[in-house]
Structure 1
Amino acid sequence: MRILHALAQRPGRTGSGVFLQQLFKAGYEKGYEQAVLAGVPLLEQDPDIDNLELKNFYPVLFESENLPFPVVGMSDVMPYKSTKYSDINETMYESYEKEFKKVITSVIEEFKPDVVICNHIWLLSTFFKDLYPNLKTLVLCHGTDLRQMKLSPKLASIVKSKVSRCEYLFALNSAQAKTIQEYYDVEEEKVIVSGSGYNPDMFFPNKNREKNDNVKIAYVGKMCNAKGVPHLLNAIDSCKKYEHIELNLIGSGSALESDEIIKSIDNRKAKVNYLGIVPQEELEKLLRTCDLFILPSFFEGLPLVVIEALASGAKVICTDLPGLDDFLGERLKELGAIRYIKMPRLKNVDTPYEEDVCEFEDRLSQTIDEASCEILEGKKYDIDEVIKLLEDKTWSGLFNRLEKMF
């Protein structure tokens, strides 16, 4: 059995890139022959591909003669230089389709895969079916593809007319599964809830941590308004326990938004550190020293880092993203391992109404204070039970669920 993993953008530094890497590693452990197709800049090496020790890598080269623009990203804010799908004109699309189909033809003829695991229900999955209608293609939804259906209607019409030819579409949660059926007009039996995963060898708790006088908080993600970072900073400013708080911001974003966020750090009441993008091994260690992880995002598929933070022993505060509570279950809430914050009303997929922002920040601030008091008082939950609840949410478990459909 030969597996081709496919992603139209860079295979590192985003959630879908993590999916590709971890599913590749799970397949390697099971002895499958594998290859990777991905979009990368012509003159820049991607360390995440190097880490996979690939023999069979088929790059689609951006910022090249045939694709003279940056890699196109599924999010409008990417952690590297990118192009928006909504900005692609007809000429750009023609070259994009031509180059991807050229590389697809090459990998199919040379590697001869039995199954394709394609990330994002978007254009790349349709290119495979245009060229090789009988090649089994499994497509993973990451949430950003649903968002692009609204942001890029011309391209969305192409996807909607063709994606039903793929054998299976995998959703992160039950709420997303329903949306996929509605958006793409596909049969219910083709949409399967697969969930997400984490690596328990990388993310695990330090059970011997000593109580200290400060609350270490982490945010990991893009530095942008859609992820709620400015509101997190404002909320911490309003916390009663702000003098005991140390916040580490990890990630990057588009120059304009991230620069404004980073500049605002100097004027905060609490101690705030901007760490930028950190290596994976450093992130693992940081989460093990973290008391509280906060994700105030207005739009996500199923955030991997929430699971990783829980597995590392941190309490979590997160917006009530669709499907997340259903995926993680009630018991984690009962234990006090995770708290959900009601989101403000959104005027589009990731922008809140201005009149709702203050109330949202107040809710977030109050919840941070509650969690901080518990941490400072040394109140703990049963971390062993939390790890047991996450047992079926590993990458190996996810790969096994996909494998049943090969």
Structure 2
Amino acid sequence: MRILHALAQRPGKTGSGVFLQQLFKTGFEKNYEQAVLAGVPIYEQDPGIDNLDLKNFYPVLFETKELDFPVVGMSDVMPYSSTKYSSLDQKMFKAYEKAFKKIIKKAVEDFKPDVVICNHIWLLCTFIKDLYPDLKVLVLCHGTDLRQLERSPMLVPIVKEKVPKCDYLFALNSAQEKEIKELYDLKENQVITSGSGYNPEMFFPIKRDKNKKIKIAYIGKICNYKGVPNLLNAIDKSKNYENIELNLIGHGNVEESVEIIDSIKVRKTQINYLGAIAQDELAKFLRSCDIFILPSFFEGLPLVVIEALASGAKVICTNLPGLDDFLGEDLKDLKAIRYIKMPRLKNVDTPFSEDIEGFEEDILKNIDAVCQEIVDNQEYKIDEVIKTLEDKTWHGLFNRLAKYF
């Protein structure tokens, strides 16, 4: 069995890139022949994937004469220089399509895959099926691809017409599965909920000394739609503000990020901005944290929530669609995770202003409740938490996909 992993943007830099890396790693451990096709800037052609023979790497190069713009990102806020799909004009799109189809042909003719695992229900999977209608294509949804249907109306007719030609579409959760079925004209049983995964060799709990302060982590893009300003406002009102520290980890390379990071200086609470850090350092850091918080307005199925739980941190998270269904009741009963009610949204990731105060109060209430449990030294059954995560590893996800190879 020969697998071609495909991603229209840079591997390892976002959630979908981590999916590609980890599924490749699992496939390598299972002795599959594998290749990777991805979009990268010309100055960074190493995909950063362990055990990938570079003769089996097929890069689509951006910032070249052929594609004279940065890699096109599935999110409008990316952790690197990028182009928005909504900014593509007809000339840019034609160049984009031509460049990808050229490399798809090279990859398929050279590597001869039996199956393609394509990340995002978007343009790349349609290009592959255009060229090779009989090649089996499995497409992983990451949530941001569904949002592009609203962001990039020029491209919607192409995607709507051609996505149903793919063999199977995989959703992160049941809510997303339902949304995909409502958006596309699909056959019965063409959409499957596959979930996400984590690496238990990297993310695991340790016995540790009690922190001098309660250590809280936020990990993700430093931007408004992730709820970071609301988190900062809420935590500053905590009755425990002198006994807690908040650590912000993630890329802050856009204008709104700079404004958010600058606001740290005037907060009562100790807030540390650590920037983006490597996966192994992130895993080590999570093992030292008491609480992980994600007040985001939009996600697919955030990998970092599972990674934080596996590392021994208690989680506070917005009630993102499908997350509770995927993680189950046991984690709530064990007080491993608490959900913040999502404010009403005027579009996919922008809350109504009149709901913000209540949202921030809910964040504060949950932070104070978990802090009190820690101060009171309440028993936390971490072994039972880890047991509930046993089927949520990358090996588990790979096995769920392999049924459809």
Same fold (TM over 0.5): yes
Whole-angstrom distance in 2 between the partners of 1:339 and 1:295: 11
Paired residue total? 405
One-letter identity of the residue aligned with 2:198: Y
Alignment pair present for 1:398 and 2:397: yes
Which consecutive residues of structure 2, in runs of 5 or more, have no partner in the other structure?
A: none
Q: CA deviation at 1:153?
A: 1.4
Whole-angstrom distance in 2 between the partners of 1:274 and 1:213: 19
Alignment pair present for 1:361 and 2:367: no
Which residue matches 1:110? Answer: 110
Whole-angstrom distance in 2 between the partners of 1:251 and 1:45: 23
Q: CA deviation at 1:51?
A: 6.9
Whole-angstrom distance in 1 between the partners of 2:373 and 2:208: 15
Q: CA deviation at 1:13?
A: 1.7
Check the 8 A contact 2:11/2:47 in 1, yes or no: no
Which residue matches 1:153? Answer: 153
The TM-score, its normalising length taken from structure 2, stands at 0.98
List aligned pairs for 1:241-260, cutoff 5 A: 241-260=240-259
Q: Is the partner of 1:344 in helix, strand or coil?
A: coil
Q: Is the partner of 1:352 in helix, strand or coil?
A: coil
One-letter identity of the residue aligned with 1:359: G
Check the 8 A contact 1:211/1:376 in 2, yes or no: no
Q: CA deviation at 1:7?
A: 0.1
Check the 8 A contact 1:232/1:364 in 2, yes or no: yes
Check the 8 A contact 1:181/1:187 in 2, yes or no: no
List aligned pairs for 1:255-274, cutoff 5 A: 255-274=254-273
Check the 8 A contact 2:28/2:51 in 1, yes or no: no
Check the 8 A contact 1:290/1:314 in 2, yes or no: yes
Which residue matches 2:215? Answer: 216
Check the 8 A contact 1:9/1:39 in 2, yes or no: yes
Alignment pair present for 1:240 and 2:220: no
4+ residue runs over 6 A deviation: none
Query: Deviation per CA, 1:64-84, whole angstroms, max 9, x where unpaired?
Result: 110000000000000000000
Check the 8 A contact 2:10/2:47 in 1, yes or no: no
List aligned pairs for 1:312-351, cutoff 5 A: 312-351=311-350
Q: Which moved more, 1:327-336 or 1:247-256?
A: 247-256
List aligned pairs for 1:4-403, cutoff 5 A: 4-46=4-46, 48-49=48-49, 52=52, 54-206=54-206, 208-403=207-402
Distance 1:334 1:140, change over 3 A: same
Check the 8 A contact 2:25/2:50 in 1, yes or no: no
The TM-score, its normalising length taken from structure 1, stands at 0.98
Q: Which moved more, 1:134-143 or 1:155-164?
A: 155-164
Q: Is the partner of 1:21 in helix, strand or coil?
A: helix
Q: CA deviation at 1:54?
A: 4.2
Q: CA deviation at 1:154?
A: 1.5
Check the 8 A contact 1:310/1:316 in 2, yes or no: yes
Q: CA deviation at 1:253?
A: 3.7
Query: Deviation per CA, 1:186-206, whole angstroms, max 9, x where unpaired?
Result: 123000000000000000001
One-letter identity of the residue aligned with 2:369: E
- C-alpha RMSD of matched pairs (Å): 1.1
Query: Deviation per CA, 1:238-291, whole angstroms, max 9, x where unpaired?
Result: 111011111110001442011011101111111111111101111010000000
Check the 8 A contact 1:228/1:296 in 2, yes or no: yes
Which consecutive residues of structure 1, in runs of 5 or more, have no partner in the other structure?
A: none
Distance 1:52 1:366, change over 3 A: farther
Check the 8 A contact 1:181/1:188 in 2, yes or no: no
Check the 8 A contact 1:12/1:46 in 2, yes or no: no
Identity of aligned residues (%): 72
Query: Deviation per CA, 1:117-160, whole angstroms, max 9, x where unpaired?
Result: 00000000000000000000000000001100111112121111
Check the 8 A contact 2:140/2:170 in 1, yes or no: yes
One-letter identity of the residue aligned with 1:214: K
Q: Is the partner of 1:49 in helix, strand or coil?
A: coil
One-letter identity of the residue aligned with 1:179: E
